[in-house]
């Protein structure tokens, strides 16, 4: 009986890993296609993902009885693309201010205002909408297709970091990284993840330059970008884990088999986006 139970558990584990790999490959193919065509298709995809991410986080907080100020959040998600197209950074800036003020007004004038409602409500734009909005200027960096490469950089840093951390953590992880936040994460996996993130940045430098013929910034720019981005990505992952642990859920959703919801796929990418955009801003690319 023990052998049979162990065999079933092993088969289930292998099936879960296979499902995770297949889902990751399909998601990567869709992402590459969008980054290749960019234009309206990419804009619409970013807008849809932003809205879906908000829905997932609002519903997740709702499980605990926390009442997020959904109207200004969904309004910001719906208006980010028009705001950027009509007024660029100024439009996004004014929209963000309006959304934050709207959140405060919605919560403060409730019959029973609660600080936790404000904290959860502000968390959604900071965690989801603002970093998603940064992709609008990123994908428009010139010369073409440099913008696509810089957006892809955020995903490579995050996903290769996640992949290295997951597999090395499963195989060799012994020392817990943050057991009160995410019990399965280990220091061994985290360190491996940083190497994966650096490798992702280096991969973009070599492959991106070779495939497009563009003269990219020097390699010594990409190495620290991978390192800092890798740290940010892991902080994003842990931050998402804190939210899920607080709300008593395993995943934000079930959209991606083996991975969870949209935010489960993007939690690290969103924090890496802050780093990549900051680098592009310092370099005068955006």
pLDDT in tens, 232-257: 999 999 999 999 999 999 999 988 87
63 SS3 class: coil
Confidence band for 84, pLDDT divided at 50, 70 and 90: very high
Does position 9 have pLDDT exceeding 60, yes or no? Answer: no
Alpha helices (runs of H) in the chain, residue ranges in sequence order: 2-37, 39-62, 70-108, 115-124, 130-138, 146-172, 187-203, 209-212, 219-247, 262-282
Sign of the CA dihedral running 176, 180, 185, 188? negative
Report the pLDDT averaged over residues 261-280: 96
Confidence band for 259, pLDDT divided at 50, 70 and 90: confident
Residue 15: what pLDDT?
Answer: 57
DSSP one-letter string for 89-128:
HHHHHHHHHHHHHHHHHHHHTSSS--HHHHHHHHHHIIII
Does position 4 have pLDDT exceeding 80, yes or no? Answer: no
213 SS3 class: coil
Does position 65 have pLDDT exceeding 80, yes or no? Answer: yes
Report the pLDDT averaged over residues 181-192: 94
pTM, full prediction? 0.91
Chain mean pLDDT for the chain: 91
Report the pLDDT averaged over residues 45-54: 96
């Amino acid at each position: 009986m023990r052998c049979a139970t162990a065999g079933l558990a092993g088969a289930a584990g292998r099936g879960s890993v296979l499902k995770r790999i297949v889902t990751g490959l399909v998601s990567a193919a869709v992402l590459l296609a969008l980054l290749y065509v960019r234009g309206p298709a990419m804009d619409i995809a970013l807008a849809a993902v932003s809205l879906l991410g908000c829905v997932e986080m609002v519903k997740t907080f709702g499980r605990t009885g926390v009442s997020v100020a959904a109207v200004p959040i969904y309004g910001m998600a719906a208006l980010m693309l028009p705001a950027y197209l009509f007024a660029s950074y100024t439009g996004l800036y004014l929209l963000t201010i309006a959304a934050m003020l709207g959140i405060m007004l919605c919560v403060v004038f409730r019959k029973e205002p609660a600080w936790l409602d404000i904290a959860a409500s502000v968390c959604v734009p900071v965690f989801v909408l603002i970093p998603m909005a940064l992709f609008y200027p990123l994908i428009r960096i010139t010369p073409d297709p440099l913008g696509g490469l810089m957006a892809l950089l955020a995903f490579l840093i995050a996903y290769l970091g996640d992949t290295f951390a997951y597999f090395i953590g499963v195989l060799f992880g012994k020392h817990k990284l943050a057991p009160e936040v995410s019990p399965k994460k280990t220091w061994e996996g985290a360190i491996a993840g940083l190497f994966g993130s650096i490798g992702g940045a280096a991969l973009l430098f070599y492959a991106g330059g070779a495939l497009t013929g563009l003269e990219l910034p020097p390699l010594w720019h990409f190495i620290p970008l991978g390192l800092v981005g890798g740290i940010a990505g892991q902080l994003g992952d842990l931050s998402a884990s804190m939210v899920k642990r607080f709300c008593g859920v395993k995943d934000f959703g079930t959209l991606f088999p083996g991975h969870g919801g949209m935010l489960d796929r993007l939690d690290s990418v969103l924090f890496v986006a802050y780093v990549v955009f900051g680098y592009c801003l310092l370099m005068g690319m955006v």
